[in-house]
Chains A and B, each alone.
Chain A
Amino acid sequence: MKIAVVGKGGAGKTTTSAILARTLARAGHRVVALDCDTNPNLGLSLGLGIEATEALLSVRDAVGGDVEHAKTWHQIVERFGADAPDGVRLAMVSKIDQPEFGCPCCGISPEQLLGLDIPEGTVVVADFEAGLGTLTRLGETKVDAVVVVTDPTVKSLEVAVRAAGLAEEHTSGPVVIVANRVIDDADRQSVERVLLGRVLVVVPDDLAIPAADRADVAPLDASPDAPAVVALCGLASLLPAG
């Protein structure tokens, strides 16, 4: 089971991915949270903390030269992974100290990694790099569901519309829209208007999320009852694994 989380930078992909991964893990799934961003921050939102997130990145960045490459799903998840709360396994795909696609050490890109066979019963929540790049490069690879995260700004919605269109080419499963930072009915309507007829999870604008971010605590731990956190926990039930 592979779930891709896409959207414009800053829309809330990483927050969404982290809450989704931990919700699925709490429901008993074996979950791998895959940070596909070349500027990886998923560890922060999962609750790993800033130091552990950077340490994980250093493992990635230290690989090079004659070091044996990690090419299989298992190797990547073991070697470039860390245990996160609720039993989620976090793995980092990209190396950031070189401005290249994917990982220069083993040459594997997020889109290739998602094309590999994953163990039966594992749910992969893949937090994509901002924009449409990884989605356009998926090629023949199919995922089982796509979550498109957007806020009610014109820029974010423009990306979401394109992402939703592309998503349908790469999944036979559901494409779910997360309408983030919704203040009022007008916000909700502007998302509904441009993403007509799609499944929508409405997440209210909620200061608990930036407050948790600033405190370097996962929103799920800092404010489990905050309206935005509760709404994002509901996303899992709309996906095949949930």
Chain B
Amino acid sequence: MRIAFIGKGGAGKSAIAGIFCRLLAQETGQPVVAIDSDPLPGLAISLGLPTFDTPLPPELVEQVGDDPATATWQLRPGTSATAAVEQYAPEGGDGVRLLQWGKLHGRGNVQVLLQSQEAFRLIVNGLTETDRHMVGDLPGGTRQPFFGWGDFADVLVVVAEATPASMLSAKRLANLRGRTGRGRDQVIVAIANKAVDPDDGERLSRFSGLRVLGAVPHDAAIGEAERVGVSLLDHSPAAPAVEAVRSLVVAMQEGAP
């Protein structure tokens, strides 16, 4: 399964992506790679990892070609995408590996950052050649998801609340579909998050025109876990939101989109 979560900032992408990854690992017993291309912290905590920032070492890549204008990057010979994940992507709850986009912390060395980010792209590309489950947490808003971050995903899942701002974002994302490198062969669906009304999913679907796969209820346990900075699965494994995401995992495994 290769999916990526998108949506308005604060809609709950990271929270849901983190739970989804861990439940997918539990349900299938297969390796899952969580891909965090959001330049802000988020997915690490939702997975149960203490660290915020684990950029890839720049030595993972080397330049091909002598002319800097046309040179490209490749993973260092002998380094496979899966080996890089085993070595450099920290292991969160349920064995989920977290692959992180190198972050701009202060004003670091630009070349180091560039190489680290090339390594990220090459590993993500390489992983699509394997049978690993890939679950992405893409940057919030409507602009960033279409910079190429989500091309690995077969399915884009819009996370939205049934509020005008969140539903407008979902509608805009639906309209922007097809602007990725993948174009229109990528499926886009939605889930209603922080649902307080049984009609929230229906409202979201009607407004955005997107097929809504399910609803995750408003759950105070999420706010509690995020205040402490731990994974909801470690804080309240029986929370209603966890069960809702589990249903989503099962539905997606059965080929829901």
Contacts and interface: CB of A to CB of B under 8 A. Distances in A.
Given A39-B141, A39-B172, A153-B223, A99 B147 contact: yes
A39 B140 CA distance: 9
Q: Would you call the interface of chain B mostly helix, strand, loop, or mixed?
A: loop
Highest count of chain A CB atoms <10 Å: which of B42, B142, B143, B226: B143
15 contacts: A9-B8, A9-B9, A10-B140, A11-B10, A38-B143, A41-B8, A98-B179, A130-B10, A131-B39, A131-B139, A152-B227, A154-B41, A155-B14, A155-B226, A210-B163
A130 B141 contact: yes
A89 to B, nearest CB: 20
Contact of B140 (A9, A99, A100): A9
B162 interface: yes
B226 A54 contact: no
A8 interface: yes
B34 to A, nearest CB: 15
Highest count of chain A CB atoms <10 Å: which of B8, B146, B168, B228: B168
A14 B9 CA distance: 11
Nearest to B203: A214
Given A153-B223, A153-B229, 17 more contacts: A9-B9, A9-B10, A10-B8, A14-B165, A39-B8, A39-B172, A44-B165, A45-B165, A96-B176, A97-B176, A130-B10, A153-B227, A154-B228, A155-B42, A159-B40, A181-B223, A187-B227
Contacts of A96: 142-143, 172, 176
B88 to A, nearest CB: 22
Contacts of B168: 41, 44, 50, 53-54
B169 interface: yes
Interface string A47-58: 000100110000
Contacts of A54: 168
Nearest to B226: A153
A8 B41 CA distance: 10
A155 B45 contact: yes
A129 to B, nearest CB: 7
A37 B141 contact: yes
A131 B99 CA distance: 20
A122 interface: no
A136 interface: yes
B18 to A, nearest CB: 11
A158 interface: yes
B9 A154 contact: no
A136 B8 CA distance: 21
Q: Interface size class for chain A?
A: 35 or more
B9 A8 contact: yes
Interface residues of B, number: 36
Given A155-B42, A213-B164, A39 B14 contact: no
B163 to A, nearest CB: 4
Contacts of A50: 164, 168
Contacts of A210: 163
Contacts of A38: 141-143
Interface string A83-106: 000000000001011111000000
B40 A99 contact: no
A154 B229 contact: yes
Contact of A159 (B41, B146, B229): B41
B11 interface: yes
Nearest to A9: B9
Contact of A129 (B141, B176, B227, B229): B141
B104 A136 contact: yes
A159 B42 CA distance: 10
A49 to B, nearest CB: 9
B144 interface: yes
A39 B162 CA distance: 16
Interface in B139-166: 139-147, 162-165
B251 to A, nearest CB: 26
A152 B226 CA distance: 8
Interface in A42-94: 44-45, 50, 53-54, 94
B73 interface: no
Nearest to A100: B143
Contact of B45 (A37, A136, A154, A181): A154
Interface in A172-221: 181, 186-187, 190, 210, 213-214, 216
A88 to B, nearest CB: 18
Interface string B217-257: 00000010011110000000000000000000000000000
Nearest to A166: B106
